[in-house]
Structure 1
């Protein structure tokens, strides 16, 4: 018999999607798995590769910068992957919920930034007021500089992908009846959870372990939340150095430190902001992002702030999923 919207299982599946957990729903998980089959993924991969190669080659030819081609390839590959994940892989709810969760906690984000920025700026400002940093970045074409930025940000993402699974593993290792009750409060499974806990033949905590696509759903949500916070910090550092540099770095100093002399080029209507200032600010902001990513996950001082509230969301997702699976198992037996 077809289930109706009053069915707690169907209501819970809707709740999963609304809370950025589409892969907790079997149908969504099956659609994502089908989208990754070679028959569907390879033609799109070839098309993206051809378009990126053509556009990268044209950009490198017109700009006379060979490094502009791989920089554009990586950027287009990321954008294509983001679009494919949001559509075919059914990951749009993950992206939407994670971004909404981040910006809805703007006060917490500002608190984290206010604690991290002062020490970070003290450390990085010594690199900013340094002739070698200006000389190095001024010699980099924008294509090669963008490659360096992508490399630094990519290293930060790789580090998070290594450490974030540990957070998920900790969340599903400590599930008991109290955790299940707390997790299901205010969800469609609040009453079924109490019934299952009171049933001696049911053991919903046995379904707590998260694996496969569901595990990657949680990791991806965590990654987006943390990456968004880091990008906000990177943007703040970039703007700070633009303002700071425009105040204390006259063109004569910039010309001396970069070795360009009178070759400093400023933006129209922004005489105090040169392309060399933008380059060094972008590079140091990206370096700051990598530094903060590592510190936020390994330093307990920042870790408590960085993961504030996220562990509660993990516990809730794992608990609701365990009760959902237990209820599905009992329904199938009945």
Structure 2
């Protein structure tokens, strides 16, 4: 591998660790399937318990070992990039993964092996036909077709999940979000001290509104979660629009010196200053969505921690101030009580969660408009955006020169 090729590969690994796989040039169906091969090996061997008298957990362990072996063989344990498959090979790999196991099952059934145990780490579907049972041919064919169809559908769902995770870097993004959450938790006193006074004034009086208690008494947890998800979506869209404007500004003010500064601490740190012909590289729609999504998640993690603090404070207010008789009067209907906390109305927990979600959204939006909050909480995301765009510009130009 040439020096420039190795440098490009290391930069692509940096993109993957940042949760930005879409910034890799040529990152399409073929490359996604190539990176999915360890996952495909793992999920294919989850079906071992159908053909051998072993525990599903043992099958999962064997699958994990096989996935590690496939990854080590393909990449020499991280010392080279995954191979680039052709479209035909990628399609054949996915088809074999989905069709070979049920084909083996059908063959075993035709040969007389009629004890079926289809399970996935806990038994999503189980069908057992004993050899001494009085089943007609039609009954047997119905069972075989049911198991086979279920099998193919489950396998297709596994492939779809793996493809979404791999193509969008969700695993790396989750690790990144956890690291940010750990940092925010270590700074939680300072964060809550800045955020809670603002969001509490916007939500505290709503907590003592009887109409909201009545609504939360009737709403189920699923609808409360849906409303909180809507709050998160609205806040993410607001952050995305603002970051999109910042991206346009950064591309307009693009300079080679800024690119060299952005590449510090990345594999391109030493090479960026010697790359000629640097120019802003417009991001494709999928790339822009990937970048904005990663940065919006950073804001969501911080908002979730603020929301958790607000939820705890509202619960303290509820336990201290809202007596059961007051809750009964506000709700003015049969009260649903918590099983984990006997005597406490579920409406209090639901309303606290709803207002915590609203408070977190309010905090995210204020972080983009208030000058102090912007410098404290939103500016780091803009700096990260500038860094990503600079590294992407240097990487793209180096790749063109390497060709």
TM-score by length of 1: 0.72
The structural deviation recorded for 1:303 is 1.9
- Gap regions ≥5 residues in structure 1: 41-79, 197-201
Could you tell me which of 211, 214, 224 is aligned with 2:287? 214
Name the counterpart of 1:166.
245
Pairs within 5 Å for 1:23-62: 23-29=22-28, 31=30
SS of 1:149's equivalent in the other structure is helix
Bigger-Rg structure (1/2): 2
Q: Deviations over 1:2-47 (max 9, x none)?
A: 5479732222222222233222222434558899xxx99xxxxxxx
Could you tell me which of 132, 136, 150 is aligned with 2:229? 150
The 2-side partners of 1:304 and 1:172 are apart by: 21
The structural deviation recorded for 1:255 is 0.7
SS of 2:385's equivalent in the other structure is helix
CA contact (8 A) 1:31 1:89 kept: no
Name the counterpart of 2:148.
none
Structure 1 pair 317–102 and aligned structure 2 pair: CA distance change class (3 A): farther
The 1-side partners of 2:172 and 2:370 are apart by: 31
Name the counterpart of 2:97.
none
Could you tell me which of 277, 280, 285 is aligned with 1:203? 277
The 1-side partners of 2:393 and 2:230 are apart by: 39
The structural deviation recorded for 1:295 is 2.0
Name the counterpart of 1:184.
263
Q: Which moved more, 1:153-162 or 1:11-20?
A: 153-162
Name the counterpart of 1:328.
399
- Gap regions ≥5 residues in structure 2: 35-90, 95-158
CA contact (8 A) 1:32 1:90 kept: no
The structural deviation recorded for 1:177 is 2.5
Name the counterpart of 1:258.
331
Name the counterpart of 1:281.
352
Provide the alpha-carbon RMSD of the alignment: 3.3
Could you tell me which of 226, 234, 239 is aligned with 2:312? 239
CA contact (8 A) 1:138 1:258 kept: yes
Structure 1 pair 31–238 and aligned structure 2 pair: CA distance change class (3 A): farther
The structural deviation recorded for 1:272 is 5.6
SS of 1:103's equivalent in the other structure is helix
Name the counterpart of 2:12.
13
CA contact (8 A) 1:235 1:285 kept: yes
Name the counterpart of 2:363.
292
CA contact (8 A) 1:171 1:311 kept: no
The structural deviation recorded for 1:117 is 0.8
CA contact (8 A) 2:240 2:296 kept: yes
CA contact (8 A) 2:185 2:305 kept: no
Name the counterpart of 2:111.
none
CA contact (8 A) 1:99 1:224 kept: no
Q: Deviations over 1:223-257 (max 9, x none)?
A: 11111222222222222211220111110111111
The 2-side partners of 1:142 and 1:271 are apart by: 18
**Higher helix proportion:** 1
Name the counterpart of 1:122.
201
Structure 1 pair 223–3 and aligned structure 2 pair: CA distance change class (3 A): same
Structure 1 pair 208–227 and aligned structure 2 pair: CA distance change class (3 A): same
Structure 1 pair 246–312 and aligned structure 2 pair: CA distance change class (3 A): same
